Structures are given as C-alpha cells and as structure tokens.
Amino acid sequence: MTVIELYGVLRRYGVDVLLLALGVTLLTSLLKKTVMKSVGKKVFVFLPFGLGILIYALYSISTRGCAAFVGGEWTSVLGGGLSTGSAATLYYVFYEQLLRGKIVMDPLEPLLTCVPEDKRAEASAAISEAFAAEKEDRLSAISAQLEAFCDPPLPKEELLCLASVLEGYLTALP
C-alpha cells in the first residue's frame, strides 16, 4: 500500500474520527508499554476497536449534551467507534511502515497475530483473495481462511470476532 492509498483511506473518515483515532492510537501505545505489558498480543488486535467505541461514545455524549443520544442512536455510535478503531489501526500501520522503518507490506499483517509470522503474508493474501471472490457470505470465507492459518487454533467466538474485524477493515480499504 502506497502513501497515497493510505492518505485516501484516512481522508474518508472525517476530522472528528481521525482526531479521536489519533488519541486511541496513543492510548493503545501507552497501555501496551505500561499497564498491559504482560497481556497477550491478541488483545492488542481488538483493543483499538474497543477503545474506539468507548471514546466515540464519550465524544458523542459530550457533543450532544446527554447520554440519551447514545442509547437512541447506538448504531451510529457503534459505527463511529468502529471507524475510529479502524483509523487507529491505520495510523499504527502508517507509523510502522514509514516512521519506524519496519517494513509491513500488507495492512492486514498486524491484525493476524494468531498466525505464525512466517505464514502471515500468505494468510493475508488468502484472506484478501477470499474477501474479493465472495460477494454474499464474506464472513464465512474469511473465517475459513483464518481457521486454516491460525496456530494454535482460536476458539470459535474469537475466530468469528477477528473475521468480523477483518471484514470491516477490508471493506474500508479502497
């Protein structure tokens, strides 16, 4: 993915989501280096999305003046929170690729911590291919690919959750 493609993806989110995502990225990094040092790497795949939902909900409450908005418009808050988590993940990929000098060829690879490092590129390609080929049931196609590559195997709930995150992430890419 080139810098221009990354810029195009980030531009689609909106200023509020991008600023919140920057905060989520920094908070995730801070938690990763301090409080959550001993936590498994799998947690950090989902942490930006969870923090994104939480922070976007707090942002919605503060801008609308009441929590009733969040209850009535939970789908928009959930969508904004997932967008915030996706943008935070993109910030992390951008940071790893360009600023830190660590080469990450595919933006899916940082999300595939359940796959052994030597198989991540192959798994990413297979998941992207399955996503592109399947128009109806993409979640099942992604789940099948994840199940084939994850070592050790993930529990069914975690597998479906990760497949759902990957589907949303791939949908957001141009």
Are 77 and 53 spatial neighbours (Cβ–Cβ below 8 Å)?
A: yes
- Tens of pLDDT, residue by residue, the chain (174 residues): 566 766 675 667 677 888 899 999 899 888 888 888 778 777 888 889 999 999 998 888 888 777 666 666 777 878 888 888 888 888 887 777 776 655 546 778 888 888 888 888 899 889 988 888 888 888 889 999 989 998 888 899 988 888 888 888 888 776
* Cβ neighbours of 165 (radius 10 Å): 20
Contact (CB, 8 A) for 141 and 86: no
CA distances from 90 to 37, 78, 169 (A): 22, 18, 9
